[in-house]
Amino acid sequence: MKSAEIREAFLSFFEEKGHTRVASSSLIPGNDPTLLFTNAGMNQFKDCFLGLEKRAYTRATTSQKCVRAGGKHNDLENVGYTARHHTFFEMLGNFSFGDYFKRDAIHYAWEFLTGDKWLKLPKDKLWVTVYASDDEAYDIWTQEVGIPHERMVRIGDNKGAPYASDNFWAMGDTGPCGPCTEIFFDHGADIWGGPPGSPEEDGDRYIEIWNNVFMQFNRTADGVMHPLPAPSVDTGMGLERISAVLQHVHSNYEIDLFQSLLKASAEAIGCANDDAPSLKVVADHIRSCSFLIADGVLPSNEGRGYVLRRIIRRACRHGNKLGAKGSFFHKIVAALVAEMGEAFPELKQQQAHIERVLKTEEEQFAKTLEQGLRILEQDLAGLSGSVIPGDVVFKLYDTYGFPMDLTGDIARERGLTLDEAGFEQEMDKQRELSRASSAFGMDYNALVKVDADTDFTGYVCTHGEGKVVALFKDGQAVEQLGEGEEGVLVLDRTPFYAESGGQVGDCGFVAAQGLRFDVRDTTKAGGAFLHHGVVDHGTLRVGAAVTAQVDATVRQATALNHSATHLLHAALRQVLGDHVQQKGSLVDSQRLRFDFSHFEAIKPEQLKALEDIVNAEIRKNSEVETEETDIDTAKAKGAMALFGEKYGDQVRVLTMGGDFSVELCGGTHVSRTGDIGLFKITSEGGVAAGVRRIEAVSGAAALAYLNGAEEQLKEAAGLVKGSRDNLLDKLSALLDRNRQLEKELEQLKAKAASAAGDDLASSAVDVKGVKVLAARLDLDGDALLALVDQLKNKLGRAVILLGGALEGKVTLVAGVTQDLTGQLKAGDLMKQAAAAVGGKGGGRPDMARGGGTDAAALDQALALAVPFVEQGL
């Protein structure tokens, strides 16, 4: 069976069992700051397990894109060296949210793996593990399914702490978790390895293919396990591993999909398509890198972008080891698109973008690699012992962009190890900084979580009645908030828009008789809207009836900018092309900022075309329409989905100007495009490789911007004593005059230098028939150079050294006439003279330049000319 057929069989099997087929979510976890990348099928359902989110179904099945290259689940180091680890893989999963539990989960797994209608795996090749104390699961397997005891293994807390076990699964250090039962396939005695729980379990003989997690707890940061509202099921089966089993091969790299990636990698590198671990690394890494880029990540020096950069660089290094000349990695994208583009259309759509991002990164890395390797070789040459010190690892990381795993790879090749503790110490400072600026690794439970859904009324009004359903202070639920206290307020119904999709949260106030709570920002947690603010006066209590008033002026200005952003997005695709994808957006009441994929600066005429198109749409004054529909219908309409957003089953489609702009968007917008009034771009620039940023203003702010420009024009006109009408004439006359004055000045300088030259020539001394002239003239380098030329002509057989000091900087020029350059070289004289003033210099035998910073030593430097000639002749 091909991988694609297995994927389809799995999803159909669970559909038959009443599961809803749900699309893979993005690799960037939607609205979840605690996770670096999507690392399991359950991520998108996390809030369903916790009981914070209700969906229309209680059973789901997915084939989920996963990346495990950072954070709690990190397989990066193993990739290439085992038969089964990957940075990117597809996880097939079935999920129950308080519906079925252990019994059904186990029976489903068994039926799919061994049933005649399904995968038909030989039962005697399957082994099963359970959490040591999970007798219930053990009994189901042995008594109901009929697994013999000798192929059942109980695994306890084998990782050094309570619940730290191969059979207790947790997404992160906090959040939903529970015991699990895993199914292993025995690849046969000719492969090295032992059954799970044995000392040889890390071998490639017994491979875990399916993990059924019984989600029972929510772990908080203090380590306490709180039972979940309803026990649930989260299963995961790696598509690549099960493909290997069904295709009768022993390594994931031998399955259909990887065979063509390995072939393409070997071709791109120009090496043999053999069993080299490095080739596997490259074939593996092209998947994680391409999928991450397709989901909006770009290489950078922090967070997700840094992990991507590390993976790309690791791939480059392994390619180089195999003899790659020049950049090769981006050339493999086409083969990946051919293999996976059908199942994941985002790959196909973004192929050109992915290739360019990779190529740019490869080229940049080639430069640092060469430099870094040189440094490393130097350090290794002086190394005593077999440990590379932490400060060397850190220097390579910090200065040359060598990730620790890359240095680790090089160390491993030479039988060396790294001083990781030393490296960590050096990293601590950096960590402090990144901790301050990044939320990854934060406690999932420290986020305010509310088991309530707020009804949002703000699409149609900015004012409304509501009831306080929860209050929080410092993340803890409280019954009341007193005067002056800061906190978070949740209402059953609110007109306040909560930050999402790039649009900032609303501000305003919530009030009742004798009470006012100023709302500074609004955010979302699950289905609840959190109003962040401070009690101005009175006491706010849970249960109180209040009125909520959004600051309507701010909201309207924000709406203008948000609608203008949609028009800009559509115009960008018209003017620049379909490769334009939104990479980020920020919309507030002052301005809009839009980041998108595009590889070069936007030309002035393109910027003008963008403004013209957007303003033409504004003048059409068409109605802005919204429609609630399911995601597939929305996509069929051509609606653009946005990066980093989590979409539910029902989505809101926003249409402007007929089909001019169709986007999925939950934001608040104008009623008609004419409300935007005016659109003006204020800046354009690059933010990362392949990403441009446009900032713009709309409405009153656009007018104010233009008025400001007009004021500047007037001021400029005042400075040249003109008016707006004749400003350009005045300016060009001024520039002409300036040019003329510069020319005159040049002529005067030349005259002065020539006169000085005459004087100087007479002060040359004779050394063995050579005229030697050393003099101080505080002129700039060019003037000195011209003078040296002139003096050479005047003096005939001569050596000249001129020096000047201007603003503490010493400039030196040395000249030797052509007939003497066989014996005396200007460059040599310059080296000595420049060193005397604390600097450097050099040049041709007949003319050299240099300089330094020690002006007080200039005379000493000049005095070197005579002895130089005396010794040289």
Binding site: what residues are annotated?
Answer: 562, 566, 665, 669
The nearer residue to ligand SER, 50 or 213, going by C-beta atoms, is 213
Interface with ligand SER, residue 42, by CB under 6 A: yes
- Closer residue to ligand SER in complex, CB, 167/503: 167
Least Cβ distance, residue 66 to ligand SER (angstroms): 8
Structure tokens at 101: 């539990």
97, 58 Cβ separation under 8 angstroms: yes
Contact status: 175 vs ligand SER (CB under 6 A)? no
Phi, psi for 59 (deg, rounded to 5): -130, 130
Among 211, 265, 585, 615, binds ligand SER (CB under 6 A): 211
**Binding residue for ligand SER, selected from 26, 82, 235, 589, defined by CB under 6 A:** 235
Q: State which of residues 10, 112, 138, 169 lies at the interface with ligand SER (CB under 6 A).
A: 169
Between residues 40 and 510, which has the closer beta carbon with respect to ligand SER? 40
541 touches 466 (CB < 8 A): no
Cβ at position 46, least distance to ligand SER in Å:
11
Tell me which residues in 601-660 interact with ligand SER (CB under 6 A): none
In terms of C-beta distances under 8 Å and separation of at least 24 residues, what long-range contacts does 434-441 make, across chains too? 434/302, 434/303, 437/302, 438/302, 438/303, 439/33, 439/34, 440/33, 440/34, 440/35, 440/36, 440/71, 440/303, 441/34, 441/71, 441/173
Query: Which of the ranges 34-42, 101-109, 244-252, 766-774 carries the binding residues for ligand SER, by CB under 6 A?
Result: 34-42
CB 134, min distance to ligand SER, A: 15
Q: Which is nearer to ligand SER, 170 or 773 (CB)?
A: 170
Stretch that binds ligand SER, among 35-43, 139-147, 149-157, 194-202 (CB under 6 A): 35-43
Closer Cβ to ligand SER, 237 or 812, answer by number: 237
Which token pair is 615?
């303003």
H/E run at residue 354: helix 351-381
Cα 67 to Cα 76: distance, rounded to the nearest angstrom: 10
Q: How far is the CB of 595 from ligand SER (least distance, A)?
A: 32
- The minimum distance between CB 92 and ligand SER, in angstroms, equals 9
Minimum CB–partner distance for residue 148 and ligand SER (Å): 25
CB-wise, 95 or 402, nearer to ligand SER? 95
Q: Give the gyration radius of the chain's Cα atoms.
A: 35
Give yes or no for residue 40 binding ligand SER (CB under 6 A): yes
Nearer CB in complex with ligand SER: 228/336: 228
Instruction: Check residue 236 for interaction with ligand SER (CB under 6 A).
Output: yes
Q: CB 547 → ligand SER: shortest distance, Å?
A: 45
**Residues 685, 692 contacting (CB under 8 angstroms):** yes
Compute the distance between CA of residue 606 and CA of residue 588 in angstroms, rounded to an integer. 25
Per CB under 6 A, the list member of 22, 69, 213, 525 interacting with ligand SER is: 213
> Closer to ligand SER at the Cβ: 49 or 365?
49
* Count of residues touching ligand SER (by CB under 6 A): 10
Q: Are strands 545-550 and 508-512 parallel, antiparallel or unpaired?
A: antiparallel
Strand pairing report for 508-512 and 540-541: unpaired
Query: Shortest Cβ contact with ligand SER: which residue?
Result: 236
Q: How far is CA 497 from CA 403, 543, 669, 672, in A?
A: 41, 22, 11, 20
Residue 93 as a binder of ligand SER (CB under 6 A): the answer is yes
Residue numbers 254-293 binding ligand SER by CB under 6 A: none
Measured at the CA of 439, the angle between CA 433 and CA 440, to 5 degrees, comes to 100
Q: Which residues on neighbouring strands pair with residue 685, listed in sequence order?
A: 693
For residues 653 and 662, what is the distance between their CA atoms, to the nearest angstrom? Answer: 7
Q: Smallest distance, Å, CB 213 to ligand SER?
A: 5
Choose the stretch contacting ligand SER; rule: CB under 6 A; options: 220-228, 229-237, 487-495, 835-843.
229-237
**Residue type for position 232:** S
Per DSSP (E only), the strands in 5-79 are: 20-21, 59-67
> Nearest distance from residue 238's CB to ligand SER, in Å?
9
Q: Percent helix, strand, coil in the chain (nearest 5)?
A: 40, 25, 35
Q: What is the DSSP string of 51-101?
A: TS---S-SEEEEEEEEE-BSSSSB-GGGTTTSSS--SEEEEEEEEESSS--
Closer Cβ to ligand SER, 166 or 617, answer by number = 166
Q: Which is nearer to ligand SER, 41 or 803 (CB)?
A: 41
- Quickly count helices (H) and strands (E) in the chain: 23, 35
Please tell me the distance from the alpha carbon of residue 419 to that of residue 411, in angstroms, as a whole number: 11
Q: Which of residues 115-144 bind ligand SER (CB under 6 A)?
A: none
Residue 193 — left, alpha, or beta (φ > 0 → left; ψ -120 to 50 → alpha)?
left
Binding residues for Zn(2+): 562, 566, 665, 669
Q: Using CB under 6 A as the criterion, which residues of the chain lie in contact with ligand SER when the complex forms?
A: 40-42, 93, 169, 211, 213, 234-236
